[in-house]
Structures are given as structure tokens and as C-alpha cells.
Chain A
Amino acid sequence: MAELRVVVDHLRLNYNGPFDANALFKYINAFLFERGFDLKVDKEFEQNTKTGKQIEWLIMPWKRISDYTRHHIKIRILVYDYNKVDAVVDKKKVKVGNGKVVMYLDGYIEYDQEDRWESIPFFQFLRTIYNNFVYKVYTERFEQRLSYDVHHLYDTIERFFNMYKHYKVVSNIPPFASAG
């Protein structure tokens, strides 16, 4: 088993309001694709419940940084009570999804991905020495890059949700408010 280190631990994002789940998933996929991540889908769960759809999406994309190092980002999205509702945007009525989202982002860095330094304890010791002292500069740089990517993704998703700020769900608009 290669050495796996947690760099970003459980970055959490909560959102409650209008958004398009399919657009969110596509947005994240596009982000990862642009940055050269390979896709790994672990779970795709969708359940139609009385209160709306319940979706769990778990992916763990990875990217090879070198022969020795690999980045993993674990994205877990839970959507609850997701329903299609009427909303008003730019004085036009549109159909949009509405629900609650909880999202967790984790960043892992994997060293010695091909298990070349695993066969005997002495090699593992050497690997640790190299990772922590000899190649310390590279190790830290790889960790920073991963941290940057995960936080960038987090900001991107926040921006995605911000786009829906102008959507006013019809059922939530008070009767005295003017549409738009």
C-alpha cells in the first residue's frame, strides 16, 4: 500500500435553495477535466422519496503528478429534498431544482504509487526519509498544488451556487413582493 497523506481534510459546503443538480455535476466534471484529472466514480445514488429526490454522488478523481506522486480529490455530494419548482429570474418564469446540499471535499496525496518502496521495512524507512527530508521541497510543493486545486474547486462551486442568487422561487416569494 502506497503512502497516502491527507492534505485537505473534509472541507464542507452547505447550501439550501435553488440550483440545478445536473448542471452542478457537469460543472464539477468540467473543472476536473480542464485540469487533467481522471475520473473515478464510486457512487451514484438517487432515490425518489416523498419529500423529493435524495442524491448521493461520490467521485474520487486522480491526477498523476510524476511517476512517484499522485493527487486524489474525494468529492462527496449529498442532495436532499430536491424538487423541481417554479422560479422567477429576469422577470421570466423558469423551472429550476430546489433543495439542500451538503458537500465534502478531501485532498489526498499518494506517494510511491507503484509500491516500489514497499517490499521491506528498510525501504519504507528510506522512503519516509526521502519524502520528509531529502525531497522536502518537492513534497511541500506537491502538497501546496493539491491544496490549491481543492480550494479552487471549492471557490468554483461557491461561485456556481452564487449564480442562483437571482432566482426567486415562486412558492417562497411573499405575495406583496413584485416579481423579479
Chain B
Amino acid sequence: MADPLPFKHKELFMNTSYFQYKGVWDMQDLYEFVASFFHRDKFKFYETKYIVKRPGPFGPETYYVWEATRNVEEYYRFIINLFLHTFDTQDVEVVMRDGSKRTFTKGRLWIQFRGRVELDYEKRWEENAFYANLRNFYHSYVIKKKIEGIWWDHMYYKVFLRLQSLVKERLKMESEGFEHRYFAGVR
């Protein structure tokens, strides 16, 4: 049976990517850094879940589920979902260059980055089937290039990949930095 309220291009997904890191990192700093990144980019940042699982033989396991949304215009919004999974972790005390002591985390970190652009998020075009079909026409023929070429690109290159590169820098990974960082303007 045909969908009474068809919706083309409801959500435009980014390519999901995964980071895996084993070593020492500052979890508090990473948390604050990601939060401030979203704050700077006018996103609303939520910690939707924080789960501490029963510790395994090598250390505790923690899930952090974060979501950031930004209503860019009335018609579309950006959503980024981060899923951080830390396991086999233990607190280690490190001495900084100035001699001060800080507590870092040693263990394994797994991050999943997911992002999407959501269209007509207020669902204004879903009052009846005629509007819904009109919206499909609008998406397919009127603003198709804008959706695929501008909104998606903006989200992907200026937010999604940028966040990934900054997280890599924060964790001091070897693959830090990427060529597209400034390709759509320096911020």
C-alpha cells in the first residue's frame, strides 16, 4: 500500500565513521572540547545517555551518547550523534610539563560519528497527502541541487569532518589534520 504521506529526502545522512584509540587521554578535556565546539557552532548539545556498566576484569566500561542539533533555518536542521564507548579504563596520574599533576584516563576508546540533515523538521507539509506530494515535488525538482550541493556539503565539510579532525587533534592521533579543513572558508 502506498504511503499516504510520502517523503522524499526526509533525512540526508553523512557517512558514518569510526575512531578507535588505545592509550592515554583526558576524558574531561575531550568532553568539554566537544561541548564547546558545538556551542561555538550554535548547536544545542545534549548528553542523552551516560551508562556505567559493571566493571570487567580489565576495568570499567562506559557509554556516552551525545546528540547535537542545530535548527539552521526553518526548513532544515543539522543533527550529529556521537557514541563514545570507553572500556578497559583506569585513571592514571600524569605530571605535566610545568610539574602539576593531573588525572587522565588510560584504556580504549571507540567513537562513532553519525550525522544527518533533516528537512521539514516541523512537519508543516504533512497536514494532508496533497501537501506531502507537493513537498516531494519541491525536493525532487526545485531545491534538489541546494539540498545535495549546499546543505549536505555545509554539514559534511564544515561541521562533520571538521569535528572529526579536531577530535583527532585533541587525542593527538597521527592522522590529525585534513585537507578540507579550510576549503570552505577559515573560521
**Contact surface of A with B, Cβ cutoff 8 Å:** 21-22, 25-26, 29-30, 32-33, 39-49, 53, 55-57, 79, 82, 97
Contact = CB atoms under 8 A, between A and B. Distances in A.
Contacts of B108: 47
Contact of B174 (A29, A33, A49, A55): A55
Given A25-B175, A29-B179, A41 B17 contact: yes
Nearest to A42: B17
Given A21-B174, A39-B161, A53-B174, A44 B179 contact: no
Contacts of B22: 46-49
A84 to B, nearest CB: 10
Contact of B17 (A44, A55, A79, A82): A44
Interface string B2-19: 000000000000010111
A45 B17 contact: no
* SS class, residues of chain A in contact with chain B: strand
B178 A43 contact: no
Contact of B179 (A26, A40, A55): A26
A49 B161 CA distance: 27
A45 B168 CA distance: 10
A26 B176 CA distance: 9
A25 B180 CA distance: 13
A57 B21 CA distance: 12
A66 B26 CA distance: 46
A55 B180 CA distance: 21
A56 B23 CA distance: 15
B80 to A, nearest CB: 15
Given A25-B174, A41-B164, A55-B174, A32 B23 contact: no
B180 A82 contact: no
B173 interface: yes
A44 B180 contact: no
B15 A44 contact: no
A46 B169 CA distance: 13
A24 to B, nearest CB: 9
A122 to B, nearest CB: 22
Nearest to A30: B179
